[in-house]
Structure 1
Amino acid sequence: MYDNILVPTDGSDTAEAAVDRAVDLAAKYDATVHALYVIDVDAVNYSLGTEQVDRIRQGHLDDMPEVKQAADEATGYVADAAESAGVPAEEHVRAGQPARAIRNAIDELGADLVVMGSHGRSGISRALLGSVAEQVLRKTQIPVLVVDARGEE
């Protein structure tokens, strides 16, 4: 049923809440887990110069050890959980607007399921902050399992 399960992660507890579900499903369906870390270039654009943002977009992270470490830790957490369950995993890092980068990764990786965490915000806080999960849900044609960080689905 599923061959490639995409798990977007930023390394937060919210993102990690989805990892167990993704790994369980991958084990059940003999699927590969794809851990995806997205560097939000809109967020870093304010603190970095144009040249540095361009280097990030091109995947050059060696001169940005903090960003590289955060990406490695976030995707490594997913890969380690998958490895512990005997599930194949791949780690990916992309730069861009998070929801758009996730949708692009779905196509690039041939994902047939996305499992992602959500803060479970509602009302004005969701309207003001937006929701990457909601943006992915609205513009994606494949199933998306959203795991609420509070333990609700």
Structure 2
Amino acid sequence: MYDTILVPTDGSDVAENAVDHAVDIADRYGADVHALYVVDTSTMDITLGAEQVDRIHAGRFDEMPELEARARTAIDYVTGRAGEHGIDVTEAIVGGQPHRQIAKYADDNGVNLIVMGSAGRGGVRRALLGSVAERTLRTTDIPVLVVDVRED
């Protein structure tokens, strides 16, 4: 049923909870796992110059070691948890709008399940901003399992 599972991660507790679910599903179905870290360039356009944003879009972090370290830590968590179950992980770090990059990566890599966390925010803040999980649900036709932060 599930051959390729995508786990978008930002390294947060919410994302790490989703990783555990994704690894469990992958272990049960013998699925491949892909870990994706998306550097949200829409929040950086003002603070970074166009050249730096272009580097991020190209996956080059040569002049941004802190950003690369944050991405690497998040990806390494996925790799470590999957490794405990003997599951290899395909890793990717890209730049762009997270929901669009998640959907694009899933389409480009034959993903048939996306497992991601949601902070479970509600009210006005969610209505104004929307969540990455909610936007991903609206952007792709691939099944998305959204894991709530409160789950154990």
TM-score bucket of the superposed structures, by smaller chain: over 0.9
- Per the normalisation by structure 1, the TM-score is 0.95
Residue in structure 2 matched with residue 139 of structure 1 by the alignment: 139
> What are the residue-to-residue correspondences of 1:2-151 with 2, within 5 Å?
2-151=2-151
Alpha carbon RMSD of aligned pairs, Å?
1.1
Per-residue deviation, residues 95-114 of structure 1 (Å, max 9, x unmatched): 10010000001111110000
Cα distance in structure 2, aligned partners of 1:138 and 1:129: 14
Question: How far off is 1:139 after superposition?
Answer: 2.3
Cα distance in structure 1, aligned partners of 2:94 and 2:55: 12
Describe the SS at the equivalent of 1:114.
strand
Cα distance in structure 1, aligned partners of 2:133 and 2:74: 17
Cα distance in structure 2, aligned partners of 1:136 and 1:84: 28
Question: How far off is 1:3 after superposition?
Answer: 0.9
> Is 100-109 or 55-64 further displaced after alignment?
55-64
| Contact 1:37–1:93 (8 Å) recurs in 2 | yes
Letter in 1 for 2:68: K
Cα distance in structure 2, aligned partners of 1:67 and 1:57: 13
The list of structure 1 runs, each at least 4 consecutive aligned residues, that deviate by more than 2 angstroms after superposition, is: none
Aligned length: 152
Describe the SS at the equivalent of 1:78.
helix
Describe the SS at the equivalent of 2:42.
helix
Structure 2 unaligned regions, length at least 5: none
Question: How far off is 1:129 after superposition?
Answer: 2.4
Letter in 2 for 1:70: R
Cα distance in structure 2, aligned partners of 1:54 and 1:145: 31
Per-residue deviation, residues 122-144 of structure 1 (Å, max 9, x unmatched): 22121122111011112211211
> Is 137-146 or 93-102 further displaced after alignment?
137-146
Structure 1 unaligned regions, length at least 5: none
Per-residue deviation, residues 42-96 of structure 1 (Å, max 9, x unmatched): 1111211111111111111122101110110001100110001111211111110
